[in-house]
Amino acid sequence: MSHQTPATHRPLTTALAEAAAMAGHAPSVHNTQPWRWRVLPDALELRVARDRQLAATDPEGELLTLSCGAALHHARLALAAEGWTATVHRMPDPADPDLLARLTDPQPIGADPDAMRMVQCMQVRHTDRRPVSGEPIADDTLSAIASAAGREGARLEILDRDQVLQLAASASHAATVEAEDSQLREELDYWTSRAGGMGLTPEVLPEQPPQTTVPGRDFGRPGTLPVGPGHDQAASYGLLYGEEDEPVSWLRAGEALSAAWLTATRLGVSAVPLSGVVEVPATRQTLRQVLAGLGYPYLVLRLGIADPAHAGPPHTPRLPREQVVDTSAVDGGA
Ligand SMILES: Cc1cc2nc3c(=O)[nH]c(=O)nc-3n(C[C@H](O)[C@H](O)[C@H](O)COP(=O)(O)O)c2cc1C
């Protein structure tokens, strides 16, 4: 099939491979990057990399699928920035549940300037686990972040003061439960001592627990990131949730996470996901009660205006492109 290429004159397969590589900037639980892309002559496939699933922390694969959803949203934006639109088929083959998405029927429609801005945000977005500044986030900024999630098929509820206190108690309980579980500790230990572009490096982990209303994850070892004396009293906490609790909704939730986080980045808001509370069944149940029947919790996000005195922490490393993007079906055409 021949395709007219957009203004950049890049062949389609190059655009597909570049979009898949750009999706490598997506956030993922413990920086596992549990995705694998396959470039086809006129399609792009996203598969789970099962060998990077957190077997103890995430046996159902929810956080893995959320992470892949974030990568899918990144790839969609990168394609749009290059001037392409494609049809997204989520979980297209019931007999092959590891095939999470297939992007087909790419059409040149001209580069989308909004997507181009979001691609820039992908390259600067990062998880900053230090306390945020004392400046609260404006209501319209929070609404814009929540709407971005809403447009991708999940909801982001910004929690009120009482709900944040409930969340704080749950996060603290989840941390205690996880610290007592030797399998979880081993898994965390593994992902905080990796080389080769995956896992969490000491530079991105706080050198001591930051003072926060809701405790962040205890990574079991101090990092080298200085945290300073601030407290994040001005932070907001959002709960990402949806009406279903099944793989395709987790995938959509990951797309919503990406949309919300990139929008936050564009608006100068920093974010940290907190997944301990959804990993532990009892605290996950408490979050369901916080939602009062509205739906199923997927992830908590702490949002705040980054402290201007802080330089951004170093970026968490990524796997080399060849390990996540398979271009063998297009023979060097990519
Ligand atoms: C589903 C999911 C769950 C996460 N859970 C946590 C968490 O509980 N605590 C935390 O500090 N970071 C968490 N993160 C952030 C990842 O550790 C981070 O995205 C990854 O290390 C890559 O770094 P970057 O976001 O700076 O690019 C989570 C990310 C995702 C996508």
Six token digits for residue 265: 């980045």
Six token digits for residue 143: 């609404």
What value does the mean pLDDT of the chain take? Answer: 94
Mean pLDDT of 24-32: 98
Residue 3, CA atoms < 13 Å, CB-side half-sphere: 24
User: Between helices 139-151 and 247-266, what is the axis angle to 10°?
Assistant: 150
pTM: 0.96
CB of residue 278 inside a 6 A radius of ligand 1? no
Q: With bands split at pLDDT 50, 70 and 90, how would you rate the model's confidence at 9?
A: low
CB of residue 265 inside a 6 A radius of ligand 1? no
Query: Considering only CA atoms, which of 106, 108, 109 is closest in space to residue 42?
Result: 106
Mean pLDDT of 6-30: 89
CB of residue 67 inside a 6 A radius of ligand 1? yes
Query: Atom 13 of ligand 1 has which residue's CA nearest to it?
Result: 273
pLDDT of residue 193: 95
Query: Atom 11 of ligand 1 has which residue's CA nearest to it?
Result: 217
Q: Which residue has the tokens 């990574």?
A: 219
Residue type, 93: D
Testing ligand 1's pocket by substitution, the residue of 239, 275, 303, 315 carrying the most ligand atoms inside 8 A of its CB is 275
Residue 26 Cα: closest atom of ligand 1: 27
The tens digit of pLDDT for each residue in 252-265 reads 999 999 999 999 99
Query: Considering only CA atoms, which of 12, 19, 15, 56 is closest in space to residue 35?
Result: 19
H and E: helices and strands count for the chain:
10, 9
Integer-rounded Cα radius of gyration of the chain: 19
Query: Considering only CA atoms, which of 334, 272, 328, 259 is closest in space to residue 304?
Result: 272
Query: Atom 20 of ligand 1 has which residue's CA nearest to it?
Result: 31
User: Is 90 exceeded by the pLDDT of residue 235?
Assistant: yes
CB of residue 240 inside a 6 A radius of ligand 1? no
Start-to-end CA distance of the chain, whole Å, equals 16
Residue 276 Cα: closest atom of ligand 1: 8
Query: Atom 12 of ligand 1 has which residue's CA nearest to it?
Result: 273
Residue 27 Cα: closest atom of ligand 1: 19
- With a pLDDT cut of 70, the percent of the chain lying above it is 96
